Each structure stands twice: as C-alpha cells, then as structure tokens.
Amino acid sequence: MNAVVFPSRDIAPAYRTTTFRLRNGESYTGIIAFESADGWIVQTGAGTTARVNSAEVISLQPGSVSVMPAGLLNGLSPQELANLYVYLQSLGAR
C-alpha cells in the first residue's frame, strides 16, 4: 500500500531508472533491461529500447523518481481506500 501511496519513497532495484549521458550530448533515461561488458540495453518506454555503448557514456545516474505515477489514489473515498487496503492484504506474500 505504501508503494502505491508513495511510489518514489522506496523504489525496487528492478524498477529504478538510470540516466545515461553520452559524449555526443545525447542522454537516455530508462530501466536497464540488459547489461554486458560493452554496454546496456535500456527500456526507455513501453515498447522502446536504446542500446548504450559503454565507451560512449560519460556519466550514469540512478533515478530518484518512480516510473509509477504519483496520485493514483486521488479521488478515492476513505471507504474505497480501505477496500483497496483489505484487498492488497488478502493477496499475501508471494
């Protein structure tokens, strides 16, 4: 529930974005989908990726904002929030 209410408070490593700044002035921000000795494949959107060559990178910085949008619960009544909480609790740990 905290992850839904405060999506950027504690971002799981698998969902943390990274910004790559390249020598040519370009930059890419996304989730690292694959890493090898010579570079990365970065998921920059729902259906888009970019190949980043490690020799071209001048800096990389982990993101501090979640890809899950803030405010997902805006507009819900207190009862609807309570119902969501009960539902999430019913799923149990996996």
What residue ranges do the domains of the chain occupy?
A: 2-6+13-91
Global model pTM greater than 0.75 = no
Residue 92: predicted pLDDT? 79
CA distance 35 to 81: 39
Q: Tens digits of per-residue pLDDT, 36-81?
A: 999 999 999 989 999 999 999 999 999 999 888 888 889 999 999 9
CA distance 55 to 20: 12
Residue keyed to tokens 């529930």: 1
CA distance 27 to 36: 19
Q: Which CATH class is domain 2-6+13-91?
A: mainly beta
